[in-house]
Amino acid sequence: MAAMSVQKKDNNKNQMEQLQDMLKEMFQTSFYGSVEVKFEAGRVTIVRKTESMKI
């Protein structure tokens, strides 16, 4: 399980754009798992991405 931070690492991207980019990448790579997004006061504080693997 990986917890990811969605902060202003790229000053040109806001949290929504960063989340959209992450989700687009997951669609393109056929991601298999779940994503949990936690908010505090209207801001994203934690993004937890859990990847499952089929063998």
32: phi > 0 → left, psi -120 to 50 → alpha, else beta; which? beta
Q: Indicate whether 3 pLDDT > 80.
A: no
Which strands form 2-4's sheet, in the order they lie side by side?
2-4, 43-51, 33-40
Give the residue with greater pLDDT, 12 vs 23.
23
Average pLDDT, the chain: 83
Q: Indicate whether 53 pLDDT > 70.
A: yes
Segment 12-17 shows an average pLDDT of 82
Domain ranges of the chain: 2-51
Q: Indicate whether 49 pLDDT > 60.
A: yes
Q: What is the pLDDT of residue 55?
A: 85
